[in-house]
Amino acid sequence: MGRLVMKFGGTSVANIDRIRNVARHVKREVDAGHDVAVVVSAMAGKTNELVDWCGDASPLHDAREYDAVVASGEQVTSGLLAIVLQGMGIQARSWQGWQIPIRTSDAHASARILEIDGSEITTRFKDRKEVAVIAGFQGINPQTNRITTLGRGGSDTSAVAIAAAIHADRCDIYTDVDGVYTTDPRVVPKARRLDKIAFEDMLELASLGAKVLQVRSVELGMVHNVPVFVRSSFDKPEDIDPHGTPPGTLICSEEEIMESHVVTGIAFSKDEAQISLRQIEDKPGVAAAIFGPLADANINVDMIVQNVSEDGKTTDLTFTVPASDYNRARDTITSSKGKIGYARLDSATDVSKVSVIGSGMRSHAGVAAKAFKALSERNINIRAITTSEIKFSVLIDAAYTELAVRTLHTLYGLDQA
Ligand code: ADP
Ligand code: ASP
Ligand code: MG
């Protein structure tokens, strides 16, 4: 007998039929004797709809009210799953974030979990074998008593945090693919499923665009040493042996991984915007004049490239920001134009970032150089580059994203045999 957290994403609870399917997965684990806490997302598309409604109601809305609205999707699915489980004769109770409580910071729309009191849930495991059905994505700020949400994709983080709080043996993330692949299998059909991936590599994949897990959930798994297993909710519940190993990907510490490749996977993100400032005077203090105001405006700058301007005397500075911050970034720079002193501002929003990830890069030289050559042979122009110990990223025209990902996937020997 063990203790499990089972998390089901939006497509897995998209309608009542899918919720019944989830209930059968839960029943399988309950019948096998496990204590089970389930974390659910909102029905597929629901959170997008709620976000859009807030925007329609007022483009500049109060983040506390945004959270009050968008947290509602998970309230519905947690209640519905509890109803279906009860109908199958399984003891079950739904829980919203504030009821547990899941205490978070007050950063509305991107709150961080501070503390979870799992005692009531575990007491109920012992006393009456009751399944806890928990609304993902939401919590409560203890100072203000207001509902918060954890950022898009945040139910993954709810699940791993709950697993840590109740000392679960494993956190199963059920989704619409049967594991973590070398790249998004919807874009590259030749992508290969990984049996295991190290937390470090998964962290990079997630932060560089692979949305299969929210970044924060991987961080929490790493810090609290929670084995996280990504698997499909589309496998028939009755066909799965609860004591066997189903298809999926285990996210675990580096030491547990036997075979290591130099490159683990490729991620991409179309959520990028590029800003280039032309003909800046090359003198101390200029970078501070540009990036200081952006930091003050809470805008995350990612890639930065500096090169000599056409005139050979001044310098050009290119950087990227998340597409959603593009307008604010442009306004921030324009209002500091006097201080920075640039001749022209060029920008592009039809760009994407393609990243190659692998902890094996630590001990191998020339991994990135191979990519630059392969991309140039495909006539793909690189606008900016960043590198770190275990990854490198290139900024390219968005139209070439799929071609670049496929090219690199083949180049690093990741294609399925
Ligand atoms: P859920 O609603 O279950 O949380 P998401 O849509 O958030 O599911 O995440 C699953 C999706 O992540 C998959 O459908 C897939 O298209 C995408 N994805 C991107 N990169 C990867 C990858 N490397 N491995 C697996 N899935 C990936
Ligand atoms: N429903 C939320 C979202 O779509 C949280 C999640 O599904 O993880 O972002
Ligand atoms: Mg998700």
Report which ligand 1 atom has the smallest distance to the Cα of 193. Answer: 24
Q: Secondary structure of the chain: what % helix, strand, coil (to 5)?
A: 40, 25, 35
Contact 73 CB / ligand 2 (< 6 Å): yes
Q: Which H/E stretch holds residue 14?
A: none
Nearest-CA residue for ligand 2 atom 5 is 153
Residue 156 C-alpha to ligand 3 middle, in angstroms? Answer: 7
The protein residues having their C-beta less than 5 angstroms from ligand 3 (an ion) are 9, 153
Domain boundaries, the chain: 3-254, 266-411
From first to last of the 417 residues of the chain, give the pLDDT tens digit. Answer: 799 999 999 999 999 999 999 999 999 999 999 999 999 999 999 999 999 999 999 988 999 999 999 999 999 999 999 999 999 999 999 999 999 999 999 999 999 999 999 999 999 999 999 999 999 999 999 999 999 999 999 999 999 999 999 999 999 999 999 999 999 999 999 999 999 999 999 999 999 999 999 999 999 999 999 999 999 999 888 888 878 889 999 999 988 887 778 999 999 999 999 999 999 988 889 999 999 999 999 899 999 999 888 888 899 999 999 999 999 999 999 999 999 999 999 999 999 999 999 988 988 888 999 999 999 999 999 999 999 999 999 999 999 999 999 999 999 999 987
Calpha distance 356→410 (Å, rounded):
12
Q: Which H/E stretch holds residue 80?
A: helix 72-87
8 belongs to an annotated ligand binding site: yes
Calpha distance 134→157 (Å, rounded):
12
Contact 97 CB / ligand 2 (< 6 Å): no
Structure confidence at residue 211 (pLDDT): 92
Nearest-CA residue for ligand 1 atom 10 is 212
Q: Which H/E stretch holds residue 185?
A: none
193 belongs to an annotated ligand binding site: no
β-strands 170-175, 146-149: how paired? unpaired
Residue 97 C-alpha to ligand 2 middle, in angstroms? Answer: 14
Report DSSP letters for 289-333, one per residue. HHHHHHHHTT-----EEEEE-TTSSSEEEEEEEEGGGHHHHHHHH
Structure confidence at residue 373 (pLDDT): 96
Burial (CB < 10 A; 0-12, 13-18, 19+), residue 85, is buried
The CATH superfamily holding the domain 266-411 is VC0802-like (3.30.2130.10)
CATH topology of domain 3-254: Carbamate kinase (3.40.1160)
Contact 41 CB / ligand 2 (< 6 Å): yes
Residue 382 C-alpha to ligand 2 middle, in angstroms? Answer: 33
- Our CA dihedral for 13, 14, 15, 16, rounded to 10 degrees, sits at -10
CA 169 from centre of chain: 23
Nearest-CA residue for ligand 1 atom 12 is 212
pTM: 0.94
Contact 47 CB / ligand 2 (< 6 Å): yes
Burial (CB < 10 A; 0-12, 13-18, 19+), residue 349, is middle
Contact 155 CB / ligand 2 (< 6 Å): yes
Residue 211 C-alpha to ligand 1 middle, in angstroms? Answer: 5
370 belongs to an annotated ligand binding site: no
Nearest 5°: the CA angle 224, 4, 170 is 40
Residue 46 C-alpha to ligand 2 middle, in angstroms? Answer: 9
Nearest to 321 by CA among 304, 306, 347, 301: 301
**Residue where the block lists tokens 């285990």:** 250
Report which ligand 1 atom has the smallest distance to the Cα of 205. Answer: 23
Q: Which ligand is nearest to the CA of 151?
A: 2
Nearest-CA residue for ligand 2 atom 9 is 152
Residue 364 C-alpha to ligand 2 middle, in angstroms? Answer: 37
Contact 152 CB / ligand 2 (< 6 Å): yes
C-alpha to C-alpha distances, 6 to 133, 215, 223, 250, nearest whole angstrom: 9, 18, 19, 14
